[in-house]
């Protein structure tokens, strides 16, 4: 099962949500993202948030449409997104997708990027992806991975999350690498492309953020 979580980021950055609808998937709304789901004809099974970004009339609609509403005070230690993600990570899942997590306030963006690291630190195998209209972002610990060409998101960038990433090797890429060390702050692995339908990337130490993008 996959869980799709929609937050309250700018709607003009959202992809076509219908591309991610599946009978076996669950939709969760975060704060104003609950209203966005309802307006797009998608039934959220759960909702999380303090709902300080909706009107009383909109909150009444949310209460009517959502069976399980988890409401919190605005003064709390976690963001609404983290509360929803913490719940999702406790489920037995194949993947978690985050929508509405980019754009708007930069502090929210950077906080959401950091949330991607949670399963790596917890040694939880589930992959979390942030998806918007032009990007797919996820985190990988050291290991070897196969990556498939995606015509919609042809550019692939690798960004160190730890102080350095050691032994990075890129095969079947336009710009290959062999056993290279990349320090944090390096732009060496920005905007690469696959030569074939599949390629591989591997590294021996550190954490990488993978960004698949289109213009």
Q: Whose structure tokens read 């690291």?
A: 117
Give the model confidence (pLDDT) of 101-133 as tens digits. 999 889 999 999 999 999 999 989 999 999 999
Mean pLDDT of the chain: 93
User: CB of 100 within 8 A of CB of 7?
Assistant: yes
- The pLDDT assigned to 60 comes to 86
The full set of domains in the chain, from first to last, is 2-133 (3.40.50.10240), 138-213 (3.40.50.10240)
Q: Residue range 68-90: average pLDDT?
A: 90
Helix axes 80-89, 106-115, angle to 10 degrees: 10
| Confidence band for 194, pLDDT divided at 50, 70 and 90 | very high
**pLDDT for 51 beyond 90:** no
CB neighbourhood size of 120 (10 A): 17
DSSP sequence for 18-38? GGG--TT-EEEEETHHHHHHH
- The pLDDT assigned to 54 comes to 82
| Confidence band for 59, pLDDT divided at 50, 70 and 90 | confident
**pLDDT for 29 beyond 90:** yes
């Amino acid at each position: 099962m996959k869980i799709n979580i929609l937050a309250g980021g700018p709607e003009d950055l959202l992809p076509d949500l219908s591309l991610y609808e599946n009978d076996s998937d669950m939709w969760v709304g975060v704060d104003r993202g609950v209203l966005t789901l309802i307006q797009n004809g998608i039934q959220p099974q759960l909702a999380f948030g303090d709902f300080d970004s909706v009107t009383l009339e909109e909150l009444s609609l949310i209460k009517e449409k959502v069976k399980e509403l988890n409401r919190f005070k605005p003064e709390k230690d976690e963001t609404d997104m983290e509360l929803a993600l913490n719940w999702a990570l406790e489920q037995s899942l194949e993947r978690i997708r985050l929508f509405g997590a980019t754009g708007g306030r930069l502090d929210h963006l950077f906080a959401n990027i950091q949330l991607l690291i949670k399963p790596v630190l917890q040694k939880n195998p589930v992959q979390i992806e942030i998806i918007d209209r032009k990007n797919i972002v996820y985190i990988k610990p050291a290991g070897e991975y196969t990556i498939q060409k995606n015509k919609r998101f042809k550019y692939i960038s690798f960004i160190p999350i730890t102080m350095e990433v050691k032994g990075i090797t890129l095969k079947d890429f336009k710009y290959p690498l062999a056993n290279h060390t990349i320090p944090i702050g390096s732009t060496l692995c920005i905007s690469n492309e696959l030569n074939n339908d599949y390629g591989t990337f591997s590294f021996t130490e550190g954490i990488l953020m993978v960004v698949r993008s289109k213009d």
